[in-house]
Homo-oligomer: A and B are copies of this chain.
Amino acid sequence: MLLFNELKKVSDGIDAIIQTDDYPTKISPLQLREAVLQYPSNPGKRLRPALVLWCCGLLNGNIEMAYYAAAAAEIYHNWTLVHDDIIDNDDLRRGNPSTHINLKNYAAETFSLDTSGSKKFGVDFALLAGDLQQSWALTLLLKSTENGVSPDVTLSLCRDLAETVSRELISGEAIDVEMSYRTINNVTPEEVKEMIYLKTGALLTFCVKAGAKIALNTADNSDHRIKKLSGFASSLGIAFQLKDDWLGIFSDTDKLGKSVGSDIKASKPTTLMLMALEKLESAERELLSSYLGREKISVEDMEIIKNLVRKSGAEKITLEQIKTLHQQAENCLSDFPDSNYKKLLLELSRYLVIRKN
């Protein structure tokens, strides 16, 4: 399939930067350096770099100039994962121990610490590893000038990342955390949708804008092509997150690479769950509600939860919303002339909403 071949090429290019960039080499101590490299070296979909490069290509830019921005988007994404995994107590990431768990295991062995001591070390070092990744991302973006991106465009990209994305994405994460402490009845679906845009859409929007600004050699956010691409990214971001919430209940752990049911355990108010609770009759609503915040969710529990969410009609509505958002995303690309890059962006958006993990 064309898409996966091209994603592999993107991934190879980003790997090359990650493996040769001198930022991590000067980090000490060694286990902190390794923690900084852990997620970036264990690649996910490289979706964000692909968006940067392909949007640059879509507008006839030289995609070689956009590689540092693409790598920056990937590393930036990774720091948010490292800190989110601490906050969410997630032990797995892409099928492997998450950063703070890796570091916890290291500390338990090296310093013969008990569980609480090694956990503290793991969280502290993961916190610092994420901090470093945030700075590494900015550093990579600043290196864009070395690939011929003008100082003004580079400064504009840095403002987009440090100012807009950071504020939106971190606010989104905080709203997400805060909502899980509120009674689920006090959370509105509108708040959740806003949170989803902030948490996922903001960085995707940066990616398409970065590719476009480099191609057009402009720092102008009001350019109509940049606006169209931003619309594409934000629809895609929300669709992506709705699909993620769906996978968090309806996928299998071995496919997903993280624990299914962790959203339930963390009592996260997803739109899927809010809708299900709203639509179920009182007894079933109470049953579904009773799983939220539990420490353990068994395979049998998950079956009951799936059935309830399905029966409520919330699954169907969510899948329809994903379809509509996907259509909206595609429509944003309709005015751009046909090209291989356009085809790739369309294939990518289709893949993101039909994916199984």
Give chain B residues whose Cβ lies under 8 Å from the Cβ of A131.
83, 130-131, 134, 166, 170
A170 pairs with B128, CB closer than 8 A:
yes
> Complex formed: what's the CA distance from A163 to B171 in Å?
25
Question: Which segment, of A12-20, A58-66, A137-145, A243-251, faces chain B?
Answer: A137-145
- Decide yes or no: A142 and B171 within 8 Å by CB, A134-B131, A134-B134 being known contacts: no
A85: shortest Cβ distance to chain B, in Å?
A: 12
* Binary CB contact string for chain A from 291 to 318 against chain B (1 if under 8 A, 0 otherwise): 0000000000000000000000000000
Question: Which segment, of A1-9, A148-156, A327-335, faces chain B?
Answer: A148-156
**Among B27, B31, B128, B163, which residue has its beta carbon within 8 angstroms of that of A23?**
B163
- Decide yes or no: A125 and B29 within 8 Å by CB, A111-B181, A132-B167, A142-B155 being known contacts: no
Give chain B residues whose Cβ lies under 8 Å from the Cβ of A90.
none
Copies of the protein in its oligomer: 2
A142 pairs with B167, CB closer than 8 A:
no
Give chain B residues whose Cβ lies under 8 Å from the Cβ of A181.
107, 110-111, 113, 121
Tell whether A274 is near chain B: CB-to-CB under 8 Å: no
Tell whether A86 is near chain B: CB-to-CB under 8 Å: yes
**Among B125, B154, B155, B175, which residue has its beta carbon within 8 angstroms of that of A177?**
B125
A167 pairs with B27, CB closer than 8 A:
yes
A23 pairs with B155, CB closer than 8 A:
no
- Decide yes or no: A139 and B159 within 8 Å by CB, A29-B178, A175-B28 being known contacts: yes
Tell whether A348 is near chain B: CB-to-CB under 8 Å: no
Give chain B residues whose Cβ lies under 8 Å from the Cβ of A174.
28-29, 32, 125, 128
Tell whether A255 is near chain B: CB-to-CB under 8 Å: no
> Complex formed: what's the CA distance from A62 to B151 in Å?
23
B142 pairs with A163, CB closer than 8 A:
yes
A226: shortest Cβ distance to chain B, in Å?
A: 19
Give chain B residues whose Cβ lies under 8 Å from the Cβ of A87.
124, 127-128
Q: Which of the listed residues A163, A174, A178, A182 has the most CB atoms from chain B within 10 Å of its own CB?
A: A174
- Nearest-CB residue, chain B, relative to A137: B162
* Binary CB contact string for chain A from 167 to 185 against chain B (1 if under 8 A, 0 otherwise): 1001101110110011000
> Complex formed: what's the CA distance from A166 to B75 in Å?
15
Tell whether A357 is near chain B: CB-to-CB under 8 Å: no
- Decide yes or no: A155 and B162 within 8 Å by CB, A32-B171, A132-B167 being known contacts: no
Give chain B residues whose Cβ lies under 8 Å from the Cβ of A31.
178
Give chain B residues whose Cβ lies under 8 Å from the Cβ of A134.
131, 134-135, 166
Tell whether A101 is near chain B: CB-to-CB under 8 Å: no
- Decide yes or no: A135 and B162 within 8 Å by CB, A83-B128, A128-B83, A170-B128 being known contacts: yes
Tell whether A229 is near chain B: CB-to-CB under 8 Å: no
A42: shortest Cβ distance to chain B, in Å?
A: 21
Subset of 26 A-B contacts with CB under 8 Å:
A26-B171, A27-B170, A28-B171, A28-B174, A32-B170, A32-B174, A83-B128, A87-B128, A111-B181, A113-B181, A121-B177, A125-B177, A127-B127, A128-B170, A128-B174, A131-B166, A132-B166, A134-B134, A135-B166, A138-B162, A139-B163, A142-B155, A142-B158, A142-B162, A142-B163, A145-B155
3 nearest A-B pairs in the assembled complex, by CB-CB distance: A135-B166, A151-B151, A138-B162
